[in-house]
């Protein structure tokens, strides 16, 4: 009798464990839907600007990131600037990302440029506009079912590749995977891509990291200015974020393959600091060679 009860208990425990596993790890992947809009709606009014401080695992400030949302509903845009005082293998680093979105809020075009003291490549110059496009430049465009990307690392070496549109409707950078995430609901899940500039520069690791993202619950946090705000919790492997009711990411933590944990905390927007970061970075002299 005791043996039968023990066997039944083991079976029940196994069923409960498998149910939990399916619910937590398998079901979100099977039911992953479209990603939320990656841009805040300005309704054609003044641009919306946000800023976060970037901190290492010792809570020491290592940089700042600025984001500006602009444009009307049919032509919304997002501009990101990330400045790091120092980052592993890159040294001092500036990343600029320009994104354009469809009327539905899905990514349509994507341009990422990187300048860093640790990058040995000369600056890339666009032959048509003469624009400085960084020492590493990634250009992406949405087609019917895929995103096509071209990666330039210096004026000569380049590579093209594709990612299914179902996996790249939302793209973030490895230093700060999430920008704006409006209209979230607990239980929502989606797939997205994170760009890793370190891998693009060194050739080691994945240039794109696919994440399965879930909205797992709610939690009240205290912001940098002392406010208690109820947030939705957004989680992915090695990433956790707290998002307010307006879709602003008040805090997020990302465990990077190189460089350890980076925490991004929302703070007051300082436009002059962004100007100084861009102007003060010693960019390489333009190369006579072009794309």
DSSP string of 139-179, one letter each residue: EEEE-SSEEEEEEEETTTEEEEEEEEGGG-SSEEETTB---
Q: Of 31, 38, 39, 40, which is closest to residue 187 (Cα–Cα)?
A: 31
The structural domains of the chain, with segments of one domain joined by +, span 1-31, 48-280
Q: How confident is the model at residue 19 (pLDDT cuts 50, 70, 90)?
A: very low
For 161-183, write each residue's pLDDT tens digit. Answer: 787 776 665 777 778 888 888 88
For 56-87, write each residue's pLDDT tens digit. Answer: 999 999 999 999 988 776 778 889 999 998 88
- 9's enclosing H/E stretch is helix 2-21
The reported pLDDT for the residue numbered 16 is 32
Backbone φ/ψ region at 205: left (φ over 0), alpha (ψ -120 to 50), beta: left
Tell the residue number behind the tokens 């496009």, with chain if given.
Answer: 133
The reported pLDDT for the residue numbered 17 is 31
Question: What pTM was estimated for this model as a whole?
Answer: 0.78
For 111-162, write each residue's pLDDT tens digit. Answer: 888 888 888 777 887 777 777 888 888 888 888 778 888 888 766 556 787 8
The reported pLDDT for the residue numbered 54 is 94
Which neighbouring-strand residues pair with 191?
212
Average pLDDT, the chain: 77
Q: How confident is the model at residue 258 (pLDDT cuts 50, 70, 90)?
A: low
For 188-230, write each residue's pLDDT tens digit. Answer: 998 888 877 666 666 666 777 888 899 999 999 998 888 999 9
For 42-54, write each residue's pLDDT tens digit. Answer: 666 688 899 999 9
Dihedral angle sign, alpha carbons of residues 211, 214, 215, 216: negative
The reported pLDDT for the residue numbered 66 is 94
User: How far apart are the C-alpha atoms of 54 and 187, rounded to whole Å?
Assistant: 28
Q: How confident is the model at residue 286 (pLDDT cuts 50, 70, 90)?
A: very low
């Amino acid at each position: 009798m005791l043996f039968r009860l023990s066997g039944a208990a083991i079976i029940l425990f196994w069923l409960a464990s498998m149910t939990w596993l399916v619910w937590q790890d398998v079901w979100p992947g099977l039911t992953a839907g479209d990603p939320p809009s990656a841009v805040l709606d300005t309704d054609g009014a003044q641009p919306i600007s946000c800023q976060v401080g970037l901190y290492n695992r010792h809570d020491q400030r290592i940089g700042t990131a600025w984001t500006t949302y602009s444009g009307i509903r049919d032509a919304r845009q997002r501009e990101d600037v990330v400045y790091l005082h120092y980052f592993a293998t890159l040294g001092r680093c500036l990343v600029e990302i320009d994104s354009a979105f469809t009327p539905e809020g899905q990514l349509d075009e994507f341009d990422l440029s990187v300048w860093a003291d640790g990058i040995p490549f000369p600056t890339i110059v666009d032959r048509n506009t003469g624009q400085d496009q960084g020492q590493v430049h990634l250009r992406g465009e949405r087609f019917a079912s895929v995103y096509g990307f071209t990666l330039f690392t210096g004026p000569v070496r380049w590579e093209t590749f594709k990612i299914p549109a179902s996996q790249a409707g939302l793209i973030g950078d490895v230093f700060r995977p999430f920008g704006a995430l409006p209209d979230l609901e607990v239980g929502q899940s989606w797939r997205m891509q994170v760009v890793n500039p370190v891998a693009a520069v060194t050739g080691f690791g994945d240039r794109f990291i696919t994440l399965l993202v879930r909205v797992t619950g709610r939690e009240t946090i205290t912001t940098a200015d002392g406010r208690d705000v109820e947030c939705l919790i957004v989680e992915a492997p090695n990433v956790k974020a707290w998002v307010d009711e307006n879709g602003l990411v008040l805090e997020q933590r990302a465990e990077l393959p190189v460089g350890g944990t980076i925490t991004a905390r929302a703070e007051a927007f300082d436009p002059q600091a962004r100007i100084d970061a861009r102007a003060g970075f010693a960019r390489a002299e333009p190369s006579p060679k072009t794309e």
